[in-house]
Structure 1
Amino acid sequence: MKRSKVKLDLVLDTVRALGVTRQHAERWAEAWQVVFGRGRSGVNVEKRLPVDLTEFTGRDRELAHIVDLGGNVGPDGVVIALEGMAGVGKTSLAVRAAAQLRDQVRSGGLELYTDLRGFSSDELPPADPEAVLTGLVRALGYKGELPRDLAHRVRIYRNLLAEKARVLLLDNVGDEDQVRHLLPRDAPVLVLITSRVRLPGLPSSVERMAVEVLDDADSLALITDISRVEPTGADPAELRLIAEKCGHLPQALAAIAGHIRDRPEWALADHRRALEDLVLHGDTGGALSLSYKRLAEPHRRVLRLLAICPARDITADTAAVLADVDHASALASLRELERAHLLQPKAPGRYGLHDLVRAHARRMAAVDEPPTGRDEALTRWLDDLQATAWAATWQFGPDQRARLPEPLLPVPHCADAESAGRWLTAERPNLVAAVEWAAEHGQPERAARLANTVSRYLRDAGYYDDWLFVHVQELSAARRGTDRKAEGTAHLNLGVVHERWGSFERARHHYEEASTIAHRIGDEAMYALALIRTGSSLSESGRADEAGELLAAGADLARRLGDREAEASAENSLGMLAHQLGRYQDALVHYNRAHALSTALGNRANAAKVGSNIGIISQQLGDYPTALAHFEEALAVSSDPIDVAGTTAALLNLGSLLPLMGRYREATAHSERALKLAVGVKDRDGEARALGDIGTIERLSGDPTAARRSHQAALDIAMALDDLDLLTEALNDLGETLVASGDHLEADRTFSRSLELTDTTGNPFENARALTGLSAAAKMRGHDDTARDLWHQALAIYTRLGVPEAARLRDGAGS
């Protein structure tokens, strides 16, 4: 039965209209995440199509039609929807057609595949279309932080699709809503859709094809091709009867053909009668049952356990852990299952189960696997995943080790960060599914353990839907149990997720819940963290006074408890608040404390982030050597292969600082590298900042024409992003270049726009820059009194901030 999904906004609007409190509204939001958020999690996008089956037979007419349509992919692309019942061979047909079209679609592009699970079981719910969109954007190479606005994300996706893809297979689509935002526009891409239902709501440009069961000739050809031997008593009439018993479905025909191949001593009539006996006794699996029963028991057991496991992808490691056998035995079982057409190869070393096979094997598991045995197998799988994820995450920084939940099994060897990243990327859907299974099957501790192990990876790699989902499951599991501390920790984790997304009110709800729980159970350490996180969120919302009080209280409590990590977090947040208010010396005091604490803890990553904050203030105060040391340290630490944002930020900081030290060539190299990284991951904010730095270098190097082009490009991006802070900086950069070019009228207009914006943003440094620029433009027009008044305003601000610009203004007073 098709699932109907209620939108979260509608749920919240309804409960608010009923007059419930904010806390109860948040409970409804969390319940929605538990019920409907499952489809947002664990979506997997492969950068390759499934294996093209060598025994593919028939479909000549359908293939010719698809190849004819797909061979004419123009600038707008071609979309073909294949509609037909389960097991009819839609995916195999799409893969074969894509293989035949490989030389006709543009060369060099990616081939992408994703299973939207439109008709899967409750254990594997339909994929949420927005989560699929995120997965596709990541597969297309975007590593920056995605905007929350759906329309903006769709634009990013379609631009990337046009640039980098050539074939996209959207498999197992449940309805039109799942693919509405995934269809190309102005992209020379071949898109193939498969679905068990008709999709009349797709755009009229989509070519829809009905895929029927095989005819007699193709059914017989498929059986004889796979069986590969001349069966005893070969009789075309018997073959036709067998094909009829299999409903002419390729999935069932392949299974019975494997049975014929492995029982050459049987007559065809024996195979047909065996099928009839199964149906007579109520076994609707028919051909699948025959294939299953011919397997050796160790292989049957592996299939049963794979069917009950929520893993999205299957590997030999998965099978070995579930069945508690060695790797070689597990691999032998997978190969035998593939040979019997009960397992589908998806990529080298990775397999999937067709829904029909999974359903049949689950029925067998219910009969042949005791409940305790099933639970033990899945618990082994959970613990193995957490141990391997622990080892992989540890590779991204030994400083993370102390903060990861200890694994329950021996930790496997993980060679390096690159291999760790590949494993985490490949296993991400399985890791998310494992958290969900543990949360829903009475294992809250294991759910929390795995969620907290993979949390940093999901955050840094940009899988925000999965990041949110695992912590929602962590909270849901904690609430079912009696561990209130675990519930409070889950609230703190969810607060961090929402704060990262800019949902500060929702973040504060979770922090307040954590604070209440901490007070109730007497957990002062948790209470300190809740104070600190709430203060940080209030600071981001512009509520400086409240933020300062909570942060100071949190820092004092953490210090009294000896919780140096929490104290470091509080001091860094206090520094950011003081920096925001223009109290640079106060900010430095807090930053230096945070840096010293993080360094003492051995947390290089956090020390580098705090150090970058020190560097930014040091640069503004004219202490360039200190700034340089911190920026170079941040660049060294950000070698993390998934932390592209950290590397880009460090390069941008260096690109901004080095021109002030007269080191233009190095500054240009850093800024151009930052620009390349930002463009590569579609990080528009980073791209604008890199262009701004390059423009400044060009201006200081005596090329105002080139500088004007670079600054204008940065301004265009800032305007498109509607980022007021970035826009203010871009306007001031451009204005300074216009003054250097002698264009005082345009400079006056540019600085005036910046001045208006700083009244909104409250950034005193950029406000003084705008006033300085307006003073220079007024002087150029001969308006000396106006210039002098603006100069005095700028000087007052720079003097209050204690930055070297004050001395520069005084030194240049004569001009």
Structure 2
Amino acid sequence: MVAEHHRWEGLGRLTAARIDHALRGVGEPHREELAELLGISDPQALPDVGPAPDSPESVPLKAGSTVIGLPVTHGLELFKNRTEVRELIGRHLSNPATRMVTITGRRGMGKSAVAAKVMETLERGEWPGHSQAPVPSGLVNLSTRTSGISLKRLYMDCARLLGSDRETRLLDVWATNRPVQDKIGELFAAMGDRLFVILMDNLEDRLQDDGRLDDEELAVFLDCLFRARSTPRLLVTSQIPMRLAPELRRFAAEVELSEGLPPAESVQLLRELDQDGSLGVAQLSDEQLLQAAVHVHGVPRALELLVGAMADDTLTLPTLQDVLEDFTLRGDVVVGLAQDRYQRVGAEGRTVLNVLAVLRTPVPRDAIEWIAGGLDRGLDVKRVLSHLLRMRMVSVDRTSRTFALHPMDADLAYGAMPQDGTLGRRSVERRAADWYASIAPPRSSWRSLDDVQPYRREFEHRVRAGDMDDAALVLGPISEWMIWRGAVLAVISMHMTLEGQVTDDRARLAHLIGFGHARLSGGPMAHAAELFVEGAALAERLGDREALQNAKFGLGDTYRQLGRLDAAVDPLARAGELAHETGDFEREVHALLSLSLTHAYLGDGAAALAGADRLRDLARTSGDLLTEARSWNARSIALLVLGRWEEAVEAGDGAVRAYRSADSKEAVTYALNAQGIALIALGRTGEALAALEGALDEASQIENPRAEGVCLYNMAWAYWTDGRYEQATGAAERAAASLQLAGAAEAAAAQALAEAARARTVPDPRAAAGALIRAADGVGGNVEMVRPAWLIEEARRLNVGP
């Protein structure tokens, strides 16, 4: 008997046992009851069952590849290029270890055509290139631009591949209320060991900005795909790659299309786009066609638009040279072609299109009216939008009631806009920024990153308008908040956009402090120290005590994490004083927490615990949940120093609960990490690894490489104590990479621990002992990493031998 939820894992996961043997181990009266339920009259000895007769379920699929869904592009019989790319895709797809191959590249590069050609080759019973592998039994074509991509569509199309009997059964399964995982499992089980390839075209339409799927059911499908032993293989096209967990990357491959077609293929495509010669393109010389191809950089979609502009103009009948000469605004024919159609909608239509081109994202009608109305008071936006919709120049999402310009059209229209003037780029960008400023919610209502999205949009428009000082003043107040919500890399990118371009002192001060906090979390931390030093000096000069407090706190916390502990105390103490003087309770508490942690790093457990007690008293007085969380956090680290392991576990648990009650991710990772260290000390390795896995996940969510490295280092030691040296090696190597990215001094310790674990797998005890000593020396005073004394004691044991 097999649990239903394990069926999808395949036959290799199942174990068979004789029923009569199992019944003999059951005592009376249960044996007779069970035998009766199974319909067995004599449970003492049952005959072996021979091969079952063929049933509809066991009839193999016909040879060759069955195809469901139309090709995702046209004219495949004329497709002749991208040979090397297709061969590479074929090698990846034919590799049993690869579950998903993603073709990425900017819009218009021909991703869909390449994928469709690969699928056509498989349909013929061949692999692209020289791959040697069984031909797929079935192929499914899905696209967001045709039938859509959803789990239901995918499930139904795959069921159709498997024959009527299997399809009927799978449709019955789909109609039940069973969990999605079970339905997917049934589908995979029906596919068995046969190979199926599913094409998901234009998947970027289902991805969020960070590369995550916007559909929970599709995310579950992918999770099952990577977990199951026997699954279909995915071929995906997307402008951005899907974000995968690090451990899944080995099961996925990415093939990037970054260059346009070579000259010969570009010329050939232009000729094929004028098959009957009616446009005069086919009769042009290779040199003339090559000139046109160079103007559009060989981008396939741009070549199509080039000929399309000629075909659409049935009045003036322009030649190819006419099109090129009329639209050379930036020496780029792609931009010129957009200008051709853009000019035909009239001045009012161009105003609305320019607004949408500037916005670059779907927006409600009131946004268009607010922005366009400020540029042209007499514009009837409703009427113009209706006209553009009829022309298919603008798309609408009826569910969200938002309007948008196609991304390619937006890029091209934007390039055609004048830089200055009432309807120029700067004016429209500034008006768009003002719109987002008008709808941005106050800080008191921020709960998720979505709440600060208007500020981020405003920042982008200020930057594109060239107003870098204003952009810095927008970014300053949201930087730290975004960092603690896991958007560290986004904040770093935004600040790097401003580097060297902010001239106003107040704006530069906001930039320096915000960038410092981003570097403190995302690394390198040495750069964070430089930014805070400069920020503190500027704040002193401007007499800005709040900014000075923030800079001093950031500097002290950076020194602590860099291991410069003596240098950390004074800035943190000063930060606490300034926060108290300015009445900023939250920042005063944060400074006290960091000061307590610094005492812990210095090995002064009593002082660290005293700081935790002070935080506890403040939490009780104020009733503030975040202060309570910080008091538990400080206590857990202080107790690690004092070696009070059971209490440290309890304090870590209290910190996690309080941080989550306060809806803060600030230091959940370090609280779980502290629990992990204490559990290692108590010899409860399994619980320690569970806590550290949770800590690592939290660190990844807040994009903090130092925290990731610390957790991985401690995980490596937990594996070591459990005798799992290969896992210890892998974890320590990952720790070294993360700590190096953060610019943390402990990176060398992690690398040494990896060398020690690797030596234990040889085994080479003396080499392992030497590496352990180096690892212990490299940790310094970081109490949030396993005690150096434990490593030194292990090194002594290895040197002595059994």
* TM-score strictly above 0.5: yes
Q: Contact 1:536–1:547 at 8 Å: present in 2 too?
A: yes
For 1:208-357, list aligned pairs within 5 A: 210-212=265-267, 214-215=269-270, 218-219=273-274, 237=278, 249-254=303-308, 268=314, 270=315, 272=317, 291-295=341-345, 298-307=348-357, 309=358, 311=359, 313-316=361-364, 319=368, 322-323=371-372, 340=391
Q: Look up the match of 1:461.
A: 486
Given that 1:491 and 1:514 are in contact with CA atoms closer than 8 Å, whether structure 2 keeps it comes out as: yes
Q: CA deviation at 1:583?
A: 0.2
Deviation at 1:62, TM superposition (A): 1.7
Task: Kindly indicate whether the alpha-carbon contact (under 8 Å) linking 2:673 and 2:692 is maintained by their aligned counterparts in 1.
Answer: yes
* Offset from partner CA, 1:28-64 (integer Å, 9 cap, x none): xxxxxxxxxxxxxxxxxxxxxxxx9999654632268
State the distance in 2 between where 1:278 and 1:756 align: 69
1-structure distance, mates of 2:115, 2:369: 29
Describe how 1:685-700 pairs up with structure 2 within 5 A: 686-687=711-712, 689-690=714-715, 692-693=717-718
Give the alignment partner of residue 723 of structure 2, picking from 695, 708, 713: 708
Is 1:518 the counterpart of 2:539? The answer is yes
Query: Per-residue CA shift, 1:522-542, capped at 9, x if unaligned?
Result: 233333333333333333444
Whole-angstrom CA distance in 2 between matches of 1:492 and 1:186: 38
Structure-1 residue corresponding to 2:136: none
Name the CA distance, whole Å, in 2 between partners of 1:355 and 1:454: 31
Residue 60 in structure 1 maps to residue 77 in structure 2: yes
**Which residue identity lines up with residue 379 of structure 1 in the other structure?**
R
CA 1:469 to 1:334, structure 2 compared with 1: closer, same or farther past 3 Å?
Answer: farther
The separation in 2 between residues aligned to 1:167 and 1:382, in whole angstroms, is 35
Confirm or deny: 8 A CA contact 1:695 1:708 kept in the other structure.
Answer: yes
Distance 1:520 1:68 in 2: 61
SS of the equivalent of 1:211 reads helix
Change (3 A) 1:767 1:112: farther
Q: Indicate how the Cα distance of structure 1 residues 277 and 548 shifts in structure 2: closer, same or farther if over 3 A, else same.
A: closer
Distance, in Å, in 1 between the alignment partners of 2:720 and 2:770 is 20
2:127 maps to what in 1? none
Change (3 A) 1:98 1:256: farther
* Alpha-carbon distance in 2 for matches of 1:515, 1:687: 34
* 2:509 equivalent in structure 1: 488
- Closer, same or farther in 2 for the Cα pair 1:255/1:603, shift >3 Å? farther
Deviates more, 1:544-553 or 1:669-678: 669-678
- 1:537-573: CA deviation from partner (whole Å, max 9, x where unpaired): 3334443333323333333343333333333233222
Q: Who is 1:436 aligned against?
A: 463
Within 1, Cα distance between the matches of 2:364 and 2:310?
25
Q: Aligned partners of 2:591, 2:353: CA distance in 1, in Å?
A: 52
Question: Any unmatched runs of 5+ in structure 1?
Answer: 1-51, 116-134, 142-162, 172-183, 199-207, 222-235, 261-267, 397-416, 697-706, 782-815
Counterpart AA for 1:525: E
Corresponding residue of 1:790 = none
**1:359 offset after TM fit, Å?**
4.8
- Residue 478 and residue 469 in structure 1: after superposition, are their counterparts in 2 closer, same or farther (change >3 A)? same
* Deviation of 1:584 (Å): 0.6
Aligned to 2:732: 718
Verify the 8 A CA contact 2:339 2:416 in the aligned structure 1: no
Q: d(CA) in 2 for partners of 1:512 and 1:376?
A: 37
Partner of 2:259: 195
Give per-residue Cα distances to partners, 1:556-611, cap 9 Å, x unaligned: 34333333333323322222221111101111222443565578777745753553
In 2, distance between residues paired with 1:435 and 1:164? 44
Measured in 1, the distance between the counterparts of 2:101 and 2:409 equals: 27
**Higher relative CO (CA 8 A, sep ≥ 6), structure 1 or 2?**
1
Spell out the pairing of 1:555-570 with structure 2 (5 A cutoff). 555-570=576-591
**Whole-angstrom distance in 2 between the partners of 1:557 and 1:543:** 22
In structure 2, distance between residues paired with 1:274 and 1:749: 76
Q: Is the 1:528–1:554 contact (alpha carbons within 8 Å) kept by the matching residues of 2?
A: yes
Contact 2:626 2:658 in 1 (8 A): yes
Q: TM-score, normalised by structure 1?
A: 0.55
Q: Does 1:139 align with 2:211?
A: yes
Counterpart residue type for residue 305 of structure 2: Q
Q: In the alignment, what sits opposite 2:450?
A: 420
- What is the identity, as a one-letter code, of the residue corresponding to 1:272? L
Q: Distance in 1 between matches of 2:274 and 2:779?
A: 70
**Conserved in 1, the CA contact under 8 Å of 2:716 and 2:727?**
yes
Residues matched between the structures, number = 590
Do structure 1's residue 382 and structure 2's residue 437 form an aligned pair? no
- AA aligned to 1:544 is L
Q: Does residue 470 of structure 1 match 2:529?
A: no
Match of 1:574 among 577, 595, 598: 595
Counterpart pick for 1:452 among 468, 471, 477: 477
Offset of residue 506 of structure 1 = 3.3
SS in 1 for 2:91: coil
Write the distance in 2 (CA, Å) between the matches of 1:452 and 1:606.
Answer: 21
User: Mean Cα displacement is larger for which, 748-757 or 641-650?
Assistant: 641-650
CA RMSD of aligned residues (A): 6.2
Q: Is the 8 A contact 1:731 1:750 kept in 2?
A: no
Q: For 1:336 and 1:243, locate their aligned partners in 2 and report how far apart those are by CA, in whole Å.
A: 37
3-state SS in 2 of match to 1:371:
coil
Q: Which amino acid aligns with 2:574?
A: A
Mark the CA change 1:370 to 1:527 in structure 2 (over 3 Å): closer, same or farther.
Answer: closer
Structure 2: distance between partners of 1:640 and 1:717? 31
Contact 1:451/1:474 (8 A) holds in 2: no
Q: What one-letter code is carried by the residue in structure 1 that aligns with 2:341? A: S
Structure 2 portions without partners, runs of 5+: 1-68, 123-138, 142-194, 214-231, 241-247, 293-301, 330-334, 375-379, 740-744
**For 1:280 and 1:719, how far apart are their aligned partners in 2?**
58
Aligned in 2, Cα 1:530/1:590: closer, same or farther, shift over 3 Å? Answer: same
CA distance in 2, matches of 1:664, 1:770: 16
**C-alpha distance in 2 between matches for 1:761 and 1:216:** 66
* Structure 2 CA distance for aligned equivalents of residues 364 and 774 of structure 1: 69
Is the 8 Å Cα contact of residues 548 and 574 (structure 1) preserved in structure 2?
yes
Report deviation, 1:301.
2.1
Aligned equivalent of 1:611: 632
Seen in structure 2, the aligned counterparts of structure 1 residues 637 and 255 have a Cα distance that, compared at 3 Å, is farther
The correspondence of residues 41-56 of structure 1 with structure 2, limited to 5 A, is none
Q: 1:296 to 1:655 in 2, by over 3 A?
A: same
- Residue range with higher mean Cα deviation, 243-252 or 371-380: 243-252
Asked if 1 retains the 8 angstrom alpha-carbon contact of 2:749 and 2:778, the reply is no
Judging changes above 3 Å, is the alpha-carbon distance between structure 1 residues 640 and 382 closer, same or farther for their aligned structure 2 residues?
Answer: farther
Instruction: Map Cα deviations across residues 715-735 of structure 1 (whole Å, 9 max, x no partner).
Output: 553256446859979999999
What per-residue deviation string (whole Å, max 9, x for no partner) do you get for residues 285-332 of structure 1? 88756633543665432212234x2x554555775654359xxx9899
- The answer to whether the 8 Å contact 2:596/2:612 transfers is yes
Q: Which SS does the other structure have where 2:608 is aligned?
A: helix
